[in-house]
Amino acid sequence: MSEKTITWVERLDTLPLSRFHWKLATVSGVGWMFDAMDVGLMAFALPLIAKEFLLDPIQIGWSASIGLVGMLVGAVIAGSVADRYGRRVVFLATLLLFSLATGLCALAWSFASLLALRFLVGIGLGGELPVAAAYVAEFSPKAHRGKLVCFLDSFWSIGWAAAAAATYLVAPRWGWRTVFLLGSAPALYVLVLRRALFESPRFLSAAGRSGEALDVVRAVEKLCGQQPASLTSPSAPTKDARLADLWRGEAARKTAMLWVLWFVLGYSYFGIYSWLPTLLVSSGHTFVKSLEYSLTIALAQAPGFLSAAFLVDRFGRLATLTAYRVFLALACFFFGYHAVTPTEIVIWGSLISFFGMGSWGAAYTYTSEVYATSLRATGTGWATAMARIGGILAPLVIGSIVQRAHSQRLVFWHMTAITLVGVVVVLWLGRETRGQSLEAIQAEAENASL
C-alpha cells in the first residue's frame, strides 16, 4: 500500500513535540528575556535617574512611557516588514538595535538625551516581541502550540527578575549607568541566533518560495527524529495582505477584540511595573528595600506563565485568559485596599505578577493564531502596538494621580476597573482556537465572512 500523501503544513501540525520545538522556543525565548531585562532595568533604575536629573512625577511618567512610544512604532513597522521579508531577519535586526541603544543610555547627559535613546530602544523591543510569537507559533504542532508560545513568553519573567537582581547588585555601588552597559550584552546573542534559526516555512510559502519551505520542513522532520513523509505543497501562495485587511469581514471582529485586549494588557502591566519601585520609595521604603520587594514580586511571573502554558492547551485560550484577568483585577483591588506591611506588599504584588503574566502568555498564544499567514505578523504587531499605547498612557495617568491625589489606593483601583473592561470585551467578541491548525482557523474565518 502506498504511503498517504499530505501537505507539509499538515506535517508540521502533526509532528510529535520534540527537542527541536523546545530548543526553538528556548533560543527565541532568550531574545525575549533580554527584552524584558531592558524594560525592567529602566523601571528599577528610575528612582536613581529621577534623583540625578531632578525629575518631577510627570517627567518620571514620560521616562517610563517614551520607550513604549518606540515600542509602538517598532511593533507596527516590524510586523509589516516581517510579513514582507521574513520573520528571521527582523528578529535579528530588532534584537541588535535595542541592545546597542541600551548601552548608549549609559552615556545620557540630560533628561532629553535619555528620552531620545529610550525611544530607539523601544523601536527594537517593540519590533522583536510580535515577530518572535508569530515565528514560534508557525513551527509549533497544533496540539502543543499554546504551551510553546507560553513557554516562549515565560522568558519575560526571567528577564524581569534578572533586571531587578542586576539593579539590586550593581546600581547602589556603581550607579544606574553601569546597569545599562550590562543591558547591551544581547548584541552578542545575534551571532548565536544567525546560526540557530530557520526561516518560517509558512512565510516562505506565502512569499511564493515553496521549494525553500519544503526544504525547511524536511530539516525539521530530521531534527524531530522522523522519517521523511510523502509531502506536497499546500495551496497557491497567499496574496500580499494590506493593513486594511485587518478590518475586513471576520477579521474586523478579531481586530477590535484584540486591540482592546492588548490596550488593557499594556495599560495594567506597564502602569503597575514602571511605577511600583517609585511608589514604594515614595511610601517610605528605602531604594534597596523597594528593589528587594520588586525582585520577590517579579519571581512570581514565571509560575504565572508556566501555569498558563499548562492550561491553554487543556481548557482553551479564552477560558485561561479571562480567568487570569479576573483574578488580576481582584489582586489589584486588594493591593490598593491594604498593602502596607512587607508581607502584604509581597503577597498581593506576587498575585498581580502571577495572574498578570499568565494572561499575557494566553494572549500571545491566541493572537499568534487568529490571522492568516500573510497577515499574522502585521496583525500581531498592530495588536501589541495597542499595548504600547496603553503602556504610554498608564505611567502618565499614574503620574497625574500621584501628583494631584497622592493616592496609591486610587492607582490600583483604577487598574482594577480597566482590567475588568478588557474581560468583558474578550467574553463578548472572542472565539476559541484551541487544537486547530493555523490554516483551519483561517479557512473558518473566510467562510464566516461569506
Query: How far is the C-alpha of 262 from the C-alpha of 415, rounded, in Å?
Result: 14
Instruction: Of 39-48, 261-270, 280-289, give the lowest mean pLDDT range.
Output: 280-289
Q: What is the dihedral of CA 38, 44, 48, 52, to 10 degrees?
A: 40
What per-residue confidence (pLDDT) applies to 261?
93
When pLDDT is averaged across residues 358-368 and rounded to a whole number, the result is: 84
| Residue 443 clears pLDDT 80, i.e. is over it | no
What per-residue confidence (pLDDT) applies to 420?
92
Output 91 or 422, whichever has higher pLDDT: 422
What per-residue confidence (pLDDT) applies to 241?
58
Query: How far is the C-alpha of 356 from the C-alpha of 265, rounded, in Å?
Result: 8
| Residue 66 clears pLDDT 60, i.e. is over it | yes
| Residue 441 clears pLDDT 70, i.e. is over it | no
Mean pLDDT of the chain, nearest integer: 80
Distances (CA, A) of 135 to 3, 186, 378: 30, 19, 12
What per-residue confidence (pLDDT) applies to 284?
65
State which amino acid sits at residue 80.
S
Instruction: Record the pTM.
Output: 0.72
CATH numeric code, 6-448: 1.20.1250.20
Output 119 or 448, whichever has higher pLDDT: 119
Query: How far is the C-alpha of 390 from the C-alpha of 384, rounded, in Å?
Result: 10
| Residue 224 clears pLDDT 70, i.e. is over it | yes
Per-residue burial over 263-282, b = 16 or more CB atoms within 10 Å of its CB, e = otherwise = bbbbbbbbbbbbbbbbbbbe
Confidence of residue 324 (pLDDT cuts 50, 70, 90): very high
Confidence of residue 320 (pLDDT cuts 50, 70, 90): very high
The torsion angles phi and psi of 367, rounded to 5 degrees, stand at: -65, -35
When pLDDT is averaged across residues 193-198 and rounded to a whole number, the result is: 73
Output the DSSP codes for 367-423.
Answer: HTTSS-HHHHHHHHHHHHHHHHHHHHHHHHHHHHHHHHT--HHHHHHHHHHHHHHHH
What per-residue confidence (pLDDT) applies to 449?
44
- Strand 6-7 and strand 231-232: pairing? parallel
For 102, the 3-state DSSP assignment is: helix
What per-residue confidence (pLDDT) applies to 442?
61
What per-residue confidence (pLDDT) applies to 327?
94
* Look-up of cell digits 520609595: 281
What per-residue confidence (pLDDT) applies to 233?
74
Output 244 or 427, whichever has higher pLDDT: 427
SS (H, E, C) 297-348: HHCCHHHHHHHHHHHHHHHCHHHHHHHHHHHHHHHHHHHHHHCCCHHHHHHH
